[in-house]
Amino acid sequence: MTMHRIPIAHFTDGTELALFLHEIAGQQGDGPTLGVSAAIHGNEPTGTLVVREIARRFADGGFRGRLLLLPVANPRSFEANLRFTPIDGVNLNRVFPGKANGMFTEMLAARIKDLFLDRIDAYADFHTGTDRPTVDYTYINNDEGLSRAFGTKILFRPQVGKSGPVFDGTTKSVTEQRGVPSCTIELGGGLVDQAPYVERGTAGIINMMRYLGMLDEDTVPTPGQIVVRGMATIYPTQGGFLHTEAPPLGERIAGGAVLGRVVSPYTFEELEVIRNPIADGVMILSHLTTNLVQPGDFGYMVGDLEGCERFD
């Protein structure tokens, strides 16, 4: 395994920011280069743990092709446990392909594009539910088989004109433009033990490697997968303690059912009842513990089961 240290910039406090890219060459023959990135949003560290585990398991090169692993794509954001880059307040995952002479976050995106995204033949990008909510679904971008191979129960197929998180300027906008099979993973996060999510994430990447022909093993199918075409993101309008009443992630929820209640930590009064706006939904993101929230924080995400696709 080779570790590449990629200098990005010097700061006024005298420190230098660098990215660390781990390259592992397979010893079993030619194959694709799979890129795996994490912590594009600095408050989503679970994927970094998955990348570390993949590096450990395949350090001996027991596969075909090559692995390029970027465990922390936004180090300053990662250090501060923030979604946005603290230098300029910009969301790294909205400015790709970046600008070599732009704002700092645009400079960072340009370097990631040139030295990572432009060098891979398949791509998996890890995101999580941050340090409070927990999430569990996978996007279907431009290769359904790759996304399904990761193994989440719920997958999301974005539809033009439908509600749901579809954004420009993401890493996959770079890879998809080159026709690179790309998968965006949303898994883990929250104030709960991340070990089960790291285990699932590692198993999912290994199954992707099977799908890509990097391992001499058949792809392990995931029974009971559901593909939704729309989802709703629900934000609290009041701040306080958020007490969840929603069912577990991956479970069905009826329209109008209570997702959670916001309670004042000062007066103890109930400030808001948050309900499911989807007539027939499935839980995708939730607060698994009682957490403090601000108005407009991520509260819940519910997938729309109307017109969904089911795979046994």
CATH class held by domain 2-222: alpha beta
Phi/psi for 173 (5° steps) reads -65, -30
Instruction: Report the alpha-carbon distance of residue 79 to residue 29 in Å, rounded.
Output: 38
**Token pair of 60, please?**
């001996």
| Distance, CA of 70 to CA of 36 (rounded, Å) | 6
d(CA 81, CA 102): 24
Domain boundaries along the sequence of the chain: 2-222, 231-311
Neighbour count for residue 195 (Cβ, 10 Å): 11
Residue 301, phi then psi, degrees to nearest 5: -130, 135
- Separation of alpha carbons 141 and 59, rounded Å: 29
Cβ partners under 8 Å of residue 137, min gap 6:
152, 154, 155, 156, 186, 187, 284, 303
CA distance 190 to 213: 34
CATH number listed for the domain at residues 231-311: 2.40.50.100
The predicted pLDDT at position 165 comes to: 53
**What is the per-residue pLDDT for 312?**
80
Q: State residue 162's pLDDT score.
A: 54
Q: How far apart are CA 160 and CA 68, in angstroms?
A: 32
Angle, alpha carbons 212-26-176 (nearest 5°)? 40
- Nearest-10 Cα torsion for 83, 89, 93, 98: -150
Spans of the chain below 70 pLDDT: 160-166
Matching CATH topology for 2-222 and 231-311? no
